[in-house]
């Protein structure tokens, strides 16, 4: 990636977001990009090259996870931003918001264990037909943390077929050796799904936290590959597309 290009990342802050600072730290201090917090009342997102919906408990998850945040004023602008082909990354609660707002299909329901689970898992890259795994290969595995109570991905069989047919499933939970098994599925997700994109491949929702494994000191670095893929994509596409 070219060092001269700096991109502007916007991190949406809903009441109850709590991984906003972690994403900011990774993007700003680990990758040296520009980064701003965006209060959920804001509506102007045109100055950004990528929008991140961080993890947390927006509105306490007191209703369905992500459902109240999906009604925040900023989400209309994020939808437009996404429809224009710009990168939108939803992590954990951010994934739940993307599903609620309809940018991604399906739903995230309670973990099959009925308990919150925080641990390191392995995920296998299933598709590179998108912005976020551009620097990866299909079949690569990543060690990456999860931390959620409602990360059990569910969708109809039609939606599932469409996701598979269009290579929209980006990550599946797997063993360390890259095998898919019920034991390697930490939350009961259908077909071990850990992350999906929209059809266009510019909106990714994932339950694992790439910002939690972007530095050696916090015991893992493979989350970097996802952020670096976004930056590579911006390097290639920014000039042609211009800002949204």
Partner 1 sequence: MPNLQTALEHGLTEGEYNKIVDALGREPNFTELGILAAMWSEHCSYKSSRVHLKRLPTKGKAVIQGPGENAGIVDIGEGLCAVFKMESHNHPSFIEPYQGAATGVGGILRDIFTMGARPIAILDSLRFGNPQLPKTKFLVDGIVDGIAGYGNCIGIPTVGGEVYFDDCYNGNPLVNAFALGITKTDEIFKGYATGVGNPVIYVGSKTGRDGIHGAVMASETFTKEAEEKRPAVQVGDPFTEKLLLEACLELFKTGIVVGIQDMGAAGLTSSSTEMAERAGTGLMIEIDKVPRREVEMTPYEVMLSESQERMLMVVEKGKEKIAQDIFKKWDLDFSVIGEVTDSGKLVITDNGEPSAEIPINLISEEAPLYNRPIDRPDYMDDLNNLDMSSLSIPNDFNNTLLTLLSSPTLASKKWIYEQYDYMVRTNTLTMPGSDAAVVRIKGTKKAVAMTVNCNSKYCYLDPYIGAAIAVAESARNLACSGAKPLAITDCLNFGSPENPGVMWQFEQAINGMSEACLKLNTPVVSGNVSFYNETEGTAIYPTPTVGMVGLIENTDTHLTQWFKDEGDLIVLLGETKEELGGSEYLKQIHNKVEGKPPVLDLDQELKLINVLLKASERGIINSAHDISEGGVAVAISECCFTPKGPIGVEVKVPQLIRKDAVLFSETQGRALVSLNDQNLNKLKELTESLDLPMETIGRVSGTRLLIEDLIDIPVAKAYNTWAQGFENILKSYA
Q: Please identify every residue annotated as catalytic.
A: 92, 209, 211
**Which residues between 145 and 164 bind partner 1 (CB under 8 A)?**
145, 147, 149
Buried-exposed string 98-121: b where 16+ CB fall within 10 A, e elsewhere: bbbbebbbbbbbbbeeeeeeeeeb
Pair 100, 64: CB distance under 8 Å: yes
Residue 22 binds partner 1 (CB under 8 A): yes
d(CA 91, CA 56): 9
Type and span of the H or E element at 121: strand 117-125
Residue 60 binds partner 1 (CB under 8 A): yes
d(CA 85, CA 65): 26
Return the number of the residue (24 or 233) whose C-beta is nearest partner 1: 24
Cβ neighbourhood burial of 159 (10 Å; 0-12, 13-18, 19+)? middle
Among 3, 137, 183, 217, binds partner 1 (CB under 8 A): 217
Side-chain half-sphere CA neighbours of 235 within 13 A = 15
Among 1, 6, 18, 42, binds partner 1 (CB under 8 A): 18
Closest approach of partner 1 to the CB of residue 90, in Å: 17
Give the interface size with partner 1 as a residue count (CB under 8 A): 32
Residue 112 binds partner 1 (CB under 8 A): no
Span from 15-23, 83-91, 167-175, 196-204 in contact with partner 1 (CB under 8 A): 15-23
Structure tokens at 20: 């906003």
Return the number of the residue (138 or 218) whose C-beta is nearest partner 1: 218
Interface ranges with partner 1 (CB under 8 A)? 15-16, 18-19, 21-22, 25-26, 29, 55-57, 59-62, 115-119, 145, 147, 149, 209, 211-212, 214-215, 217-219
């Amino acid at each position: 990636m070219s060092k001269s290009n700096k991109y502007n990342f916007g991190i949406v802050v809903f009441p109850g977001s709590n991984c906003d600072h972690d994403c900011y730290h990774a993007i700003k201090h680990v990758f040296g990009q520009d980064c701003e917090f965006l209060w959920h009342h804001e509506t102007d997102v045109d100055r950004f090259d990528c929008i991140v919906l961080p993890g947390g408990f927006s509105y306490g998850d007191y209703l369905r996870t992500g459902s109240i945040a999906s009604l925040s004023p900023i989400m209309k602008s994020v939808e437009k931003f996404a429809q224009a082909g710009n990168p939108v990354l939803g992590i954990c609660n951010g994934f739940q918001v993307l599903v609620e707002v309809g940018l991604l299909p399906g739903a995230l329901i309670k973990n099959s264990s009925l308990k919150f689970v925080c641990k390191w898992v392995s995920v296998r890259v299933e598709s590179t037909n998108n912005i976020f795994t551009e620097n990866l290969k299909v079949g690569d595995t990543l060690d990456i943390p999860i931390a959620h109570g409602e990360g059990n991905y569910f969708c109809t069989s039609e939606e599932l077929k469409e996701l598979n047919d269009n290579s929209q499933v980006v990550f599946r939970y797997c063993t360390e050796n890259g095998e898919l098994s019920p034991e390697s599925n930490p939350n009961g997700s259908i077909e071990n799904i850990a992350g999906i994109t929209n059809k266009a491949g510019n909106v990714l929702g994932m339950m694992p936290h790439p910002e939690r494994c972007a530095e050696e000191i916090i015991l893992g670095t493979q989350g970097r590959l996802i952020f670096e893929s976004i930056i590579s994509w911006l390097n290639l596409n920014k000039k042609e597309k211009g800002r949204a």
